[in-house]
Structures are given as structure tokens and as C-alpha cells.
Amino acid sequence: MKEAVFTKHSPAPIGAFSQAIKAQGVHLYVSGSIGMQDSQIVRGGIKAQAVQALDNIKAVLEAAGYGFADVVKVNVYLHDMNDFVAMNEVYANYFPPPEPARTTVQVSRLPKDALVEIDLVAVK
């Protein structure tokens, strides 16, 4: 059993995928989010984009009845690993202890030439 999650408070997907999928009524798989608002990448560098990406994710989590405390696994994709410390400063403000497991990797390119993309899994 799976159900698509959609909220107008987060940008619509750029492609054929859902903002999130709720599976078995307990698992929530949130698609990658970039620092996009009103179809545009936000200005201000990595911190501004990380804030926007996480705010977009927050809207999706809330639409599904979840919060950051329910997150168990996060994947962070950075265009430049030199942005790790700045991204991490923003990230730390969103996830209460115990923090979820996380993987952070550098990638050559992200949608709309974003600096960061974040996806995650939450469980109720």
C-alpha cells in the first residue's frame, strides 16, 4: 500500500515523481528537494539554499503528518564538498536529537544547478 503526498507549500516536482510516498502507513520517502522557491533557485549561496530545501521538506513532512523528529535517514548531495560546514550549520537547526543517520556526497551537477539537494526517510 502506497500513497502519494503533495503540498502546494513546496515546489512541484521537476519530472515524473511525487514529493513523497507514504508506504504501509508508517514509512515516508521524501524526494530530493533543492533550494527552490516560486520555480527559481534562491539566491544567497549554500546556506540560503539549504534553508529553502529544508523548509520545502518541512512542508512535505507536515502534509504527511510527520516532522523532523520522525526522520531516520537523510541523504545530502552537495555540488561542492567545501560547502559541507556551512550546510551542516543550517542542517543542525532542523533535526532534534537523536539526529538521523546521514550520508553526504559531492556530485557533479544538481537540478537547476542547485548547490544542495536533500532527500530523506521518516518513520512513524
Instruction: Answer whether residue 63 shows pLDDT above 90.
Output: yes
pLDDT (tens digit, 9 = 90+) per residue, 74-101?
999 999 999 999 999 999 999 999 999 9
Report yes or no: 57 and 64 within 8 Å, Cβ to Cβ: no
Q: Model-level pTM?
A: 0.96
Rounded CA separation 25/43 (Å):
37
Rounded CA separation 92/37 (Å):
22
- Domains of the chain: residue spans and CATH: 2-123 (3.30.1330.40)
